[in-house]
Amino acid sequence: MNHSTDRPVFLNLLRIRQSAMALLSIFHRISGILMVLALPALVYLLGLSLRDAQGFAQAVNLLQHPVARFVLLLLGWALAHHMLAGIRFMLLDVDVGITRAAARNSAWLVLLVGLAVLVSLFVFYWLPGVLS
Ligand code: HEM
């Protein structure tokens, strides 16, 4: 049997240096799944907040818990990243930005804007809530 010498030795994803495009794609899937998993809790909170004044106050109270704020912070990042990466994917589908360099640049742009959203939410939303 003919064994090629340049075959991959292992497929440990943590040891393979991922490109920006691969990271964007992995985070796109993770963010989509995060948002789907959050839907029941968000629908419950919406229902609670619309029930009556007491329910609204209860929902506000629940959302002030540091863990709830952390989940909302993650969801804020997930929505921003997923939306931008999704728009990028759809542009690629219609051959916009399809060259290797353009695709790499747009992947970095989406990753960095997502990171900027995450840091802004941490500084302006999560920290003030925890420190007050
Ligand atoms: C805000 C605008 C959004 C845009 C532009 C968008 C765009 C996209 C696109 C283009 C895909 C297919 C990606 C591919 O070809 O692999 C996708 C997948 C997906 N989206 Fe969205 N989406 C949006 C919002 C959402 C929301 C709000 C949720 C959840 C509540 C969601 C959940 C998912 C999931 C679970 C997948 C499958 C992920 C995967 O299998 O990799 N998306 N989205």
Instruction: Give the CA radius of gyration of the chain.
Output: 20
Is residue 14 assigned to a domain? no
Residue 26 lies in a domain: yes
C-alpha to C-alpha distance for 29 and 108, rounded to whole angstroms: 17
Q: How far is CA 7 from the centre of its chain?
A: 33
Q: What pLDDT was estimated at residue 129?
A: 83
Whether 30 is in the pocket of ligand 1, judged by its Cβ within 6 Å, is no
56 touches 49 (CB < 8 A): yes
Q: How far is the CA of 55 from the centre of ligand 1 (A)?
A: 31
Which pLDDT band holds residue 97 (cuts at 50, 70, 90)?
Answer: very high
| Cα dihedral 40→43→44→45 (10° resolution) | 120
Check: pTM over 0.85? Answer yes or no: yes
* Residue 40 domain flag: yes
Q: Residue 67 sits in which domain range?
A: 20-131
For residues 24, 27, 29 and 32, what is the CA-based torsion angle, rounded to 10 degrees? Answer: -120
pLDDT in tens, 27-38: 999 999 999 999
The amino acid at residue 78 is A
Atom of ligand 1 at shortest range from CA of 29: 41
Residue 1 has pLDDT above 60, yes or no: no
Count of structural domains, the chain: 1
Higher pLDDT, 102 or 12: 102
Q: Is there an atom of ligand 1 within 6 Å of 115 CB?
A: no
In a domain, 25, yes or no: yes
How remote is the C-alpha of 88 from its chain's centroid? 14
Closest by CA to 74, choosing from 128, 129, 40, 122, is 122
CATH code, domain with 120: 1.20.1300.10
